[in-house]
Amino acid sequence: MAVKRRKSRVPPPPSGCPLTACMKFLGGAWTPNVIWYLRSEPRRFSELMADIPGVSPKVFSARLKSLEKDGIVIRRVMPTSPPTVEYSLTNLGQELTPAIEAIVQVGHKLKRMRAVGME
CATH code (residue 95): 1.10.10.10
> Whole-model pTM?
0.80
Within a domain: residue 5? no
Total domains present in the chain: 1
Q: Answer whether residue 95 shows pLDDT above 90.
A: yes
Within a domain: residue 94? yes
pLDDT band at 40 (very low <50, low <70, confident <90, very high): very high
Residue 87 · residue 42 · CB < 8 Å: yes
Sequence-separated (6 or more) residues with CB below 8 Å from residue 99: 22, 26
The range of the structural domain enclosing residue 75 comes to 23-118
Model confidence over 16-36: pLDDT tens digits?
A: 788 888 888 788 889 999 999
Q: Which amino acid is at 58?
A: K
Sequence-separated (6 or more) residues with CB below 8 Å from residue 20: 13
> Length of the chain, please?
119
From the list 107, 106, 108, 86, the residue with the least C-alpha distance to 37 is: 86
Within a domain: residue 84? yes
Residue 13: predicted pLDDT: 72
